């Protein structure tokens, strides 16, 4: 089930950098050094922020590529480069894992998993790895967790399957490691799965706890499901959580209900389209917030909120900031046993919510905008939302949250009864019948928006004439980096004003989150270019709507930049 290659086996020899990489401890994860990028989103709080400032607004125009490395595979590349003491780890589609010298781009080792015969996932992508101790951890698509020796790439342990891939379960997310627990969640919300999070002991690989995101009989929230609909109700967990060391809580986003149409599963349907606060030591759900009940628009709320403190009406708030797929930006409050609603505002056009309760955050709906079985409805934004999975960023120096948004697009759906068959598409609608429209008179679709977390005001917007599928990185040098457009560009902006300062055309479109690190006193910016999956599918729809024939080339390449000397 595996193929592994070490640089020494190729006659290259192990690189000195790997022998000096320090073990990744709990304290290092809580306080990552500026020169490293140890976590998926830079820190436990999910800020996508690097304090490094050698590259800044004054010299970013001198940024130039210093090395590149082809991953050797196509499809959508959605993982950031993770760096520890000069060693870089990147995952690529089809369960490929690559270790490189972060300064030179030279191969150290690589791993390519052989997936089971007949295996097929809805999304052939990988979203990253996790580091802990002397190991690298990856969630494989066929729903197993792998631990590798960080020095050699050899497999240390492999878990039994967390669920049966033949029933539609698979995994694309990066693990989250807290207090020695390796936590993962499952994809498969379009196949009638029951979502869950499972934790494994980092050293032994033994399962420690398993928590379902749809409550079963006798559990709080089970009464929000009717009959047996809870057994295949969705609420997948396909993006990595964030963590607050102060409360010792992890925060996870959950996906859509299954099937997509709420009249086929009456009730609020906890914990679909929610954030759940989970104790990493026990798996106990300590609190939750549901962004929209009885989801009927495929608006997954899979991204975990950022742990950000802010001010509201002159008062300090221990907060969570969530940029929601449903088109709203949420300010929440966290405590050791609850998540409370504080405020929300739409950041793109949204015509489904008639109102939001000021105390609870619960929306009421325009019923003519809610699709159902035999009921056609149009709604904005489309099922891809005001923002899909790409990460927003928070810069503590500016106090701004940067959102990779999409506006001026809408969708339509009409449900039907569909027989459940394990492992097969089960949404209540066929793919060709999913409606997607764009305002053809609009001058822009994709955006970067900058919002002040204390005032709730939008400070600036940069408009793209095309959709934006790129995560955002912000830095101590006062910069914002973003790809995500079909012109293959990687761009840098002034974090305070939104002025574009630099751009570079890569081999493909960029979906993956950028990261920044330092080796031997030199700051680098690194990103993986590689178009595919949802952006490629959406580009085909846009071509049909506009009568264009743009094709974005696929194929992954890791690009690493530094200032020219």
| pTM (2 d.p.) | 0.97
pLDDT(12) > 60: no
pLDDT(14) > 80: no
What whole-number distance in Å separates Cα of residue 359 and Cα of residue 291?
A: 13
pLDDT, tens digit, for every residue of 349-384?
Answer: 999 999 999 999 999 999 999 999 999 999 999 999
pLDDT of residue 8: 45
pLDDT, tens digit, for every residue of 477-524?
Answer: 999 999 999 999 999 999 999 999 999 999 999 999 999 999 999 999
Mean pLDDT calculated for residue range 169-186: 98
Q: Give the confidence band of 157 by pLDDT, cuts at 50, 70, 90.
A: very high
pLDDT of residue 7: 54
pLDDT, tens digit, for every residue of 466-480?
Answer: 999 999 999 999 999
Mean pLDDT calculated for residue range 4-17: 49
pLDDT of residue 385: 98
pLDDT(561) > 60: yes
What whole-number distance in Å separates Cα of residue 179 and Cα of residue 143?
A: 22
Lowest mean pLDDT among 39-43, 119-123, 170-174: 119-123
pLDDT, tens digit, for every residue of 273-290?
Answer: 999 999 999 999 999 999
Helix H, strand E, coil C: the string for 214-275 is: CCCCCCCCHHHCCCCHHHHCECCCCCCCEEECCCCEEEEEECCECCCCHHHCCCCCCCCCEE
Q: Give the confidence band of 1 by pLDDT, cuts at 50, 70, 90.
A: very low
Q: Which among 74, 268, 295, 298 is annotated as catalytic? A: 298
pLDDT, tens digit, for every residue of 326-352?
Answer: 999 999 999 999 999 999 999 999 999
Mean pLDDT calculated for residue range 32-44: 98
What whole-number distance in Å separates Cα of residue 293 and Cα of residue 301?
A: 11
- Number of residues assigned to the chain: 565
Q: What percentage of the chain has pLDDT greater than the value 70?
A: 97
Tell me which residue has tokens 């379009």: 190
Contact 106, 11 (CB under 8 A): no
Q: What percentage of the chain has pLDDT greater than the value 90?
A: 95
Q: What is the mean pLDDT of the chain?
A: 96
201 is catalytic: no
pLDDT of residue 565: 75
pLDDT of residue 4: 56
Domains observed in the chain: 2-15+34-563 (2.140.10.10)
CA angle 31, 32, 37 (to 5 degrees): 155
Q: Give the confidence band of 5 by pLDDT, cuts at 50, 70, 90.
A: low
What whole-number distance in Å separates Cα of residue 131 and Cα of residue 517?
A: 16
Q: Give the confidence band of 124 by pLDDT, cuts at 50, 70, 90.
A: confident
pLDDT of residue 92: 98
Pick the residue with more confidence: 120 or 437? Answer: 437
Q: Give the confidence band of 16 by pLDDT, cuts at 50, 70, 90.
A: very low
Helix (H) or strand (E) holding 475: strand 472-475
In angstroms and rounded to an integer, the radius of gyration of the C-alpha atoms of the chain is 22
What whole-number distance in Å separates Cα of residue 457 and Cα of residue 445?
A: 21
pLDDT of residue 120: 79
| Secondary structure (3-state) at 431 | helix
Helix (H) or strand (E) holding 18: helix 16-20
Contact 479, 494 (CB under 8 A): yes
> Encoding tokens for residue 52?
């490094």
pLDDT of residue 121: 76
CA angle 4, 6, 10 (to 5 degrees): 115
pLDDT, tens digit, for every residue of 239-256?
Answer: 999 999 999 999 999 999
């Amino acid at each position: 089930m595996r193929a592994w290659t070490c640089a020494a086996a190729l006659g290259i020899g192990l690189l000195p950098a790997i022998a000096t990489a320090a073990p990744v401890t709990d304290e290092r994860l809580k306080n990552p050094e500026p020169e490293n990028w140890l976590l998926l989103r830079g820190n436990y709080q999910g800020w996508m922020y690097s304090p490094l400032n050698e590259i800044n607004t004054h010299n970013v125009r001198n940024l130039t590529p210093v090395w590149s490395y082809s991953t050797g595979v196509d499809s959508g590349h959605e993982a950031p480069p993770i760096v520890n003491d000069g060693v870089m780890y990147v995952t690529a589609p089809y369960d490929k894992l690559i270790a490189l010298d972060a300064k030179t781009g030279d191969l150290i080792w690589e791993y390519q998993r052989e997936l089971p015969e007949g295996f097929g996932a809805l999304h052939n992508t990988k979203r990253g790895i996790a580091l802990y101790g002397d190991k690298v951890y990856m969630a494989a698509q066929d729903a197993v967790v792998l631990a590798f020796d960080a020095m050699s790439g050899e497999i240390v342990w492999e878990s039994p399957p967390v669920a049966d891939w033949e029933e539609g379960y698979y995994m694309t997310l990066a693990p989250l490691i807290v207090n020695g627990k390796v936590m993962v969640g499952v994809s498969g919300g379009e196949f009638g799965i029951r979502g869950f999070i499972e934790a494994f002991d980092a050293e032994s690989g033994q399962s420690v706890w398993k928590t379902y995101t749809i409550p079963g009989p006798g559990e709080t929230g089970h009464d929000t499901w009717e009959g047996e609909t809870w057994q295949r109700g969705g609420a997948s967990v396909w993006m990595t959580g964030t963590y607050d060391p102060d409360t010792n809580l992890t925060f996870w986003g959950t996906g859509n209900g299954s099937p997509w149409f709420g009249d086929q599963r009456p009730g609020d349907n906890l914990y679909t389209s929610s954030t759940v606060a989970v104790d990493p030591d026990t798996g106990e759900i300590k609190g939750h917030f549901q962004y929209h009940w009885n989801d009927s628009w495929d608006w997954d709320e899979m991204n975990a909120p950022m742990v950000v403190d802010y001010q509201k009406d002159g008062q300090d708030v221990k907060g969570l900031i969530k940029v929601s797929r449903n088109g709203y930006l949420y300010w929440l409050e966290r405590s050791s046993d609850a998540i409370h609603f504080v405020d929300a505002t739409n950041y793109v056009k949204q015509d489904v919510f008639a109102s939001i309760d000021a105390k609870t955050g619960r929306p009421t709906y325009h019923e003519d905008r809610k699709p159902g079985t035999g009921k056609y409805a149009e709604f904005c934004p489309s099922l891809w939302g005001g923002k899909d999975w790409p990460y927003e960023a928070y810069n503590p120096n500016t106090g701004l949250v940067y959102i990779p948004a999409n506006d001026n697009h809408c969708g339509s759906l009409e449900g039907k009864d569909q027989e459940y068959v394990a492992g097969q598409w089960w949404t209540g609608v066929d793919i060709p019948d999913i409606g997607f429209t764009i305002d053809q008179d609009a001058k822009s679709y994709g955006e970067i928006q900058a919002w002040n977390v204390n005032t709730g005001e939008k400070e600036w917007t940069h408009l793209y004439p095309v959709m934006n599928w790129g995560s955002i990185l912000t830095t101590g040098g006062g910069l914002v980096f973003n790809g995500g457009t079909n012109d293959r560009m990687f761009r840098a902006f002034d974090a305070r004003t939104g002025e574009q300062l630099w751009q570079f055309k890569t081999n493909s479109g960029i979906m993956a989150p950028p990261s920044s690190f330092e080796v031997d006193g030199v700051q680098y910016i690194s990103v993986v270019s590689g178009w595919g999956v949802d952006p490629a599918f959406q580009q085909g729809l846009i071509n049909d709507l506009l009568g264009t024939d743009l094709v974005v080339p696929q194929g992954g390449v890791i690009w690493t930049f530094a200032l020219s000397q």
